[in-house]
């Protein structure tokens, strides 16, 4: 498993992630970074691109599928993840921008 997915799993175990459409939408006031799976639906992508703009949040399109993200989290497939911790948000952003 690569560094990004390892860090994502650690953030989940620390309780610093919101994932799934409803959970992320309800927690936008606590989120510092939005992550979208590469195969999320166009409607979901539009909804969260708008939310990111409205809330002033960074949004990253990931080079991972919903299945890969779900496996990294130890859950069912996940298309949208909200990171509710500045440190984890910075670490995840750096690992994506620096490559897998």
pLDDT tens-place string over residues 73-83:
999 999 999 99
The CA-based angle 69-98-17, given to 5 degrees, is 35
Q: What is the pLDDT of residue 100?
A: 47
Look at 2 and 66; give whichever has higher pLDDT: 66
List, for residues 20-66, the tens digit of each pLDDT value. 999 999 999 999 999 999 999 999 999 999 999 999 999 999 999 99
User: Which residue, chain included where needed, has tokens 């996940």?
Assistant: 78
Contact 3, 95 (CB under 8 A): yes
Burial 48-82 (b: 16+ CB within 10 A, else e): beebbeeeebebbebebbbebbbbbbeeeebbbbb
Q: What residues are paired with 82 via a beta bridge?
A: 18, 34
Residues 6+ apart with CB under 8 A from 61: 36, 38, 45
């Amino acid at each position: 498993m690569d560094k990004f997915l390892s860090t994502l799993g650690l953030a989940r175990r620390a309780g610093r992630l919101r994932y799934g459409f409803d959970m992320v939408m309800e927690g936008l006031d606590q989120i510092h970074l939005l992550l979208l799976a590469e195969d999320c639906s166009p409607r979901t992508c539009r909804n969260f691109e708008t939310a990111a703009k409205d809330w002033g949040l960074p949004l990253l399109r990931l080079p991972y599928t919903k299945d890969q993200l779900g496996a990294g989290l130890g859950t069912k497939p996940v298309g949208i993840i909200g990171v509710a911790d500045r440190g984890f948000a910075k670490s995840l952003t750096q690992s994506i921008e620096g490559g897998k």
